[in-house]
Amino acid sequence: MTESLPIALTVAGTDPTGGAGVLADIKSFHSREVYGMSAVTSLTAQNTMGVQDVFNVPADFLKAQLESIFSDEMPHAMKSGMIATEEMMRVLKKYVTKYEMPLVIDPVMISTSGHNLISEDAIDYLRDELLPAALTVTPNIMEAEKLTGVDIENEEDVRKAAKVFIEEIGVKSVIIKGGHLKGAAVDYLFEKDSETSLSSDRVDTHHTHGTGCTFSAVITAELAKGKTLKEAFHTGKNYITKAIQETPEIGRGDGPVNHFAYKGEL
Ligand SMILES: Nc1ncnc2c1ncn2[C@@H]1O[C@H](COP(=O)(O)OP(=O)(O)O)[C@@H](O)[C@H]1O
Ligand SMILES: Cc1ncc(COP(=O)(O)OP(=O)(O)O)c(N)n1
């Protein structure tokens, strides 16, 4: 008899060159031996040099995709990435409150190349309505600053922002990624009564396109297997570090990471 596979769902935008968004998420799920499903929010025309165009899927069609999935099979964990409009976020909120499963929100706002991927009013809805529904939220430094209003330059500022996330915004936990701070690449997991930080040497490379998507997708995959958030955080960090150390040098600009590089225990 075949053993049943853990299933993870991503609700996110596409990047046709496969470095970020849905394709990066599915590659990450697959490499962790988790069956991947997706509901697409936006089609972007982008590559390693930047974002050329964006087409947002009508909110009703996002609903149709989610309905197709949830009326057929229940994923074990779910993540969201680029959710461009408040209308789409409202649709998503209905599903994440109706069906209970670990939810990881990667609050994607701006691409590395500086392109706005979500509207300003969607940011307010994200902070006030969606974040409290998540098991964890994985902002980078700029996203954490935008959502909390705290300027972040060092570890103390990271702690101040985490306090706002937990005590004011009402998130259950937050993982603040330090990829854009100076020095070592340190990420911080804050739960109500605990703090865990994981550090790795900074890799001297500009090939970091899709690191945030990949990191949060691996965490989601581990949660789908029933791992704890701390265990998932450790695997996510080890996976992304290896994926950045062994970038495949694809494209003419800021290239993607290597989804085959990490060979850790499944
Ligand atoms: N140059 C680097 N060397 C090692 N790890 C990095 C590097 N850049 C980012 N990371 C790691 O990649 C993950 C994504 O971080 P970050 O770049 O801050 O997020 P985002 O991709 O959302 O902007 C984090 O685990 C971070 O520590
Ligand atoms: C469709 C799509 N989704 C997300 C991103 C941003 O990717 P992320 O991994 O958060 O960030 P970078 O590491 O690329 O900054 C994207 N570009 N496209």
Ligand closest to CA 239: 1
Is 3.90.950.20 the CATH number for 7-245? no
Residue 223 has pLDDT above 70, yes or no: yes
Which pLDDT belongs to residue 151?
98
What spacing in Å lies between the alpha carbon of 256 and ligand 2's midpoint? Answer: 10
Domains of the chain by residue range: 7-245
Q: Which atom of ligand 1 is nearest to the CA of 141?
A: 18
Residue 3 has pLDDT above 90, yes or no: no
Ligand 1 mutation target, pool 198, 202, 240, most atoms within 8 A of CB: 240
Single pTM value for the model? 0.98
Residue 265 has pLDDT above 80, yes or no: yes
Q: Is the CB of 13 under 6 A from ligand 2?
A: yes
Residue 41 has pLDDT above 80, yes or no: yes
> Is 123 within 8 Å of 106 (Cβ atoms)?
no
Q: Encoding tokens for residue 152?
A: 């972040």
Q: Is the CB of 81 under 6 A from ligand 1?
A: no
Which pLDDT belongs to residue 113?
80
Residues marked as catalytic: 177, 208, 210-213
Q: Encoding tokens for residue 83?
A: 């959710």
Pairing mode, if any, of strands 136-137 and 7-14?
Answer: unpaired
**Per-residue pLDDT tens over the stretch 140-187:** 999 999 999 999 999 999 999 999 999 999 999 999 999 999 999 999
Termini Cα distance of the chain: 20
**Per-residue pLDDT tens over the stretch 84-132:** 999 999 999 999 999 999 999 999 998 878 889 999 889 999 999 999 9
Q: Is the CB of 20 under 6 A from ligand 2?
A: yes
